[in-house]
Amino acid sequence: MHDIWWLLKSKYIIISLPTPKSNGPNIIIMSPTTSPKTDRSLALIFLFAATLFLSASLMFVLQPLFGKILLPLLGGSPAVWNTCMVFYQSILFLGYLYAHTLSVSQNHHRQVLIHVAVILISFVALPVGLPENSAPPTETNPTLWLFWTLLLSIGLPFFVVSTTAPLIQKWFSDVGHHTSHDPYYLYAASNAGSLIALLSYPFFLEPNIGLAHQKSYWSVGYLVLCLFLVGCAAVLWKSRQQAEVVPGDANEIEPELNLSTKLHWLALAFVPSSLLLGLTNFISTDIASVPLLWIIPLTLYLLTFILVFSKWNNAIHPVVVKLQPMVLLPFIAYSFINPAVLPYWVDLGLHLLAFFIAVMVCHGELARLRPHTKHLTTFYLIMSFAGMLGGMFNTFVAPFIFNAVYEYPIMIVAALLLRPGLKTSMGAKTKDWLSQLTLPAVLAIAGLVIFFSIDNLPEYLDTIGVGLILLAGLLYTFRSEPLTLALVTGILIFFTMGLHGLLSNTLFQDRTFFGVLSVRESVLTNEQNQPEKYHEFFHGTTKHGAQRLAADVSRTPLTYFSKPGPIGQLFTEFDGSNQQWEVGIIGLGAGTLSCYAKDGQHWTFYELDPLVVAIASNPVYFTYISQCNPKIGMVVGDARLQLEKEPDHKFDLYIVDAFSSDSIPTHLLTQEAIKLYFKKLKPNGILALHITNRHLALKKVLSDHATNLQLAALIQEYKPTGDIPLVVATDWVVMAKKPETLESLRTSRLGSWQKMPLFFDMKPWTDDFTNIVTIWK
């Protein structure tokens, strides 16, 4: 925008020339001291930008902070996190609705008075934290209690924070600044705050500050935010008295928004929101199970908002629109058609690149189509509603209608449909529509014929793969035809996903809140050099058990629980004294451990996911339980909460097998959790913890607990000798109150049990403090 200044009768008249977002010039009469080139102009931008930055930072810190507060009380059940998500999204939407209603129904002075009153009322919730003597009900569903607790604890502050982005930008549009006609660039400050808070919490706040101090610091930050909000309100109040805004042209009156425009905004915000969650789930399910990996897609998502609402969007947007079809060839060819060719990190990079460009296109269109400031709050309200719908679709709808993360490729196709130029390319005639539908229809029919008519389809995979890659290469030729581009891309992706499903010999696959569970059939070479079938149990990309099907070996524990391994050695060493043992186990898996049970023993498994219980108990997939111990007890729910209900000194052996995936339940590994386990163990009881993990050195945490709680502890990092089918390397720690309880195991010739190494750089993990970053391998 170019500003032209005239000096007339000792006053500056600012004439902002028309921009693509305005139909006529705005004329603002102000005193010479309010020149936008003065320090006051810069201070004004700083005030409003800092307010948006701080507000977004507080919002992104409060959500994980309060989640950690609730974790020991309610555990990791899906009802807990679903309720938290509904609460956050609902309050965020209500905040945007409040900002919209306030700005369109009240004059500026009343807006200030009402919002200051809301801020003052919110102080009753400070400092943030759970109400005193707060405890969830033990006999009834805690959902209503949780929602009410969230509302009492953080509802008012979170509501105020939620209102800031749309309301402050709307106020800025009315303060008479020379950029007030287009305040959307301030949205970049809001998303920068979100991004910095996102990265700061796991890497700076959580590793260095306990929950108690986090709550105090957040409350102080909220008070600072309120001062900034009052400052913005004071500027708005004063500007209404000092500035006179004169319409520059009768044509400046903006027309009312039509329904198609609102729906277009809705789609442009909905698809990236769903795509973000879909990619995050897809990465952990199909590519790599790595802690904190979810931060990368969310970082890219927030970065797109910063870029598209900056002054660079006009230059960037055409470039990413052209890049999108170019990226499709390597993306589809290697990430879907033949993902095994590349290392997982290259595959991950392709997915992230395609995601970033798709979201840049959608958000770039949103920024390009942003309305006049008259409709600013409507624009943000629709964006908020779309984001809420995207989150709810992926969390509440997709897991019930899909047995895999199919919403991810669906949203890839949807993002292509939202490319600019769809209406132009389609034209008004029926033949224009039919011409773009012809190739997708032919490919869909051909794919169905190939899929259902050719026997032994996997044998032709190489030939089919070459054909699919050639088709993917043709996608760029349809860059100006969004409908054809999107539909052909969808057909290629879903056809290849179907082929890979055949190759994986998947016997069962289903999906719950906790992820995608699958049972696959594979073939090994047995001790007689003969092919032999076996079943594997997967949660995403993490194997949770396997079983050989031959009758003579079907009762043999395998993988992490093999007889030559640490847990097998423990049962062998105490074989003469464990006939009446009471055994408790967190984590069922395929039910492998049940084959160590004896008739006089009583075993209880604690499993969070009901589908795991159904799979392990079904003899079609695994027969460990049906053959070895069909009467074992099953307790479904968060293990720590369920264990609280058990009598003290009940168990002789307690096994914790919950840490092999990327999202370890940290509340099962804190000092308070260890104390609870030993409270439920007999004086000579043994605690065994399976700590095999590809990315985290959990032995550091347990070594620190053993030192601080004065417990005896041994570790074995087992590596199998020889080529034993389905016996894998695994790490186990055993702990007891008295060293003599573990002495026979330490001196046993069955395996190499060692004293726990000491780590002097560890801060104890408690319910108040955990830190994943410091235990990365």
Q: What angle do CA 557, 561, 567 make, to 5 degrees?
A: 120
Which amino acid, one-letter code, is at 312? W
Residues 6+ apart with CB under 8 A from 303: 191, 195, 356
Report how far residue 98's alpha carbon sits from residue 428's, in angstroms, rounded to the nearest whole number: 40
The whole-number mean pLDDT for each consecutive block of 10 residues of the chain, a chain of 777 residues, reads 32 38 42 50 89 94 86 65 78 93 90 94 90 69 79 93 93 86 88 90 87 92 95 86 44 71 94 90 68 81 91 89 82 63 74 93 93 90 91 84 86 90 55 68 74 66 64 70 81 74 78 84 87 90 89 93 95 90 94 93 92 94 92 88 92 88 78 96 96 89 95 95 86 96 91 91 88 83
Which amino acid, one-letter code, is at 727? V
**566, 750 contact by CB (below 8 A):** no
Q: Which two tokens stand for residue 132?
A: 């005193």
Report how far residue 386's alpha carbon sits from residue 92's, in angstroms, rounded to the nearest whole number: 12
**605, 634 contact by CB (below 8 A):** yes
Whole-number mean pLDDT of the chain?
Answer: 83
How is 169-188 classified by DSSP, letter by letter? HHHHTTTT-TTTT-GGGGHH
Residue with the two structure tokens 């055994």? 583
pLDDT of residue 206: 85
Q: Which two tokens stand for residue 45?
A: 């931008």
pLDDT of residue 249: 41
How many other C-beta atoms are found inside a 10 Å radius of the C-beta of residue 242? 13
Residue environment code for 673-687, b if the CB has 16+ CB neighbours within 10 A, otherwise e: bbebbbebbbeebbb
pLDDT of residue 346: 78
Please give the backbone phi and psi of residue 547, each rounded to the nearest 5 degrees, phi first. Answer: -145, 130
Distance, first Cα to last Cα, the chain: 52
Strands 730-736 and 712-718, sheet pairing: antiparallel
SS3 380: helix
Please give the backbone phi and psi of residue 701, each rounded to the nearest 5 degrees, phi first. Answer: -65, -45
Report how far residue 85's alpha carbon sits from residue 79's, in angstroms, rounded to the nearest whole number: 10
Give residue-wise pLDDT tens across range 328-363: 767 776 666 555 556 767 778 888 999 999 999 999
Strand order in the sheet with 531-539: 506-512, 515-525, 531-539, 542-548
**165, 190 contact by CB (below 8 A):** yes
Residue with the two structure tokens 């052209």? 322
Q: Which of 166, 172, 104 is nearest to 374 (CA)?
A: 104
Q: How far is CA 716 from the centre of its chain?
A: 34
Report how far residue 126's alpha carbon sits from residue 159's, in angstroms, rounded to the nearest whole number: 13
Residues 6+ apart with CB under 8 A from 490: 409, 410, 412, 413
Element (H, E) at 156: helix 156-172
Report how far residue 26's alpha carbon sits from residue 33's, in angstroms, rounded to the nearest whole number: 19
Q: Is 591 left (phi over 0), alpha (psi -120 to 50) or beta?
A: left
**DSSP label of 559:** B
Residue with the two structure tokens 């049940």? 594
Which amino acid, one-letter code, is at 397? V
Q: What is the 3-state secondary structure (H, E, C) of 344-376?
A: HHHHHHHHHHHHHHHHHHHHHHHHHCCCCHHHH
How many other C-beta atoms are found inside a 10 Å radius of the C-beta of residue 317? 20
Residue with the two structure tokens 């569903």? 141
Which amino acid, one-letter code, is at 191? N
Percentages of the chain per state (helix, strand, coil), in multiples of 5: 60, 15, 30
Residues 6+ apart with CB under 8 A from 7: none
pLDDT of residue 14: 39
Residues 6+ apart with CB under 8 A from 263: none
**650, 680 contact by CB (below 8 A):** yes
For the chain, the residue count is 777
Strands 582-586 and 506-512, sheet pairing: unpaired
Report how far residue 296's alpha carbon sits from residue 71's, in angstroms, rounded to the nearest whole number: 24
Report how far residue 458's alpha carbon sits from residue 500's, in angstroms, rounded to the nearest whole number: 9
Pure H helices in 209-258:
211-242
Confidence (pTM) = 0.80
Report how far residue 533's alpha carbon sits from residue 526's, in angstroms, rounded to the nearest whole number: 9
How many other C-beta atoms are found inside a 10 Å radius of the C-beta of residue 518? 21
How many other C-beta atoms are found inside a 10 Å radius of the C-beta of residue 4? 10
28 strand-pairing partners: 14, 245
Which amino acid, one-letter code, is at 705? H
**734, 686 contact by CB (below 8 A):** yes
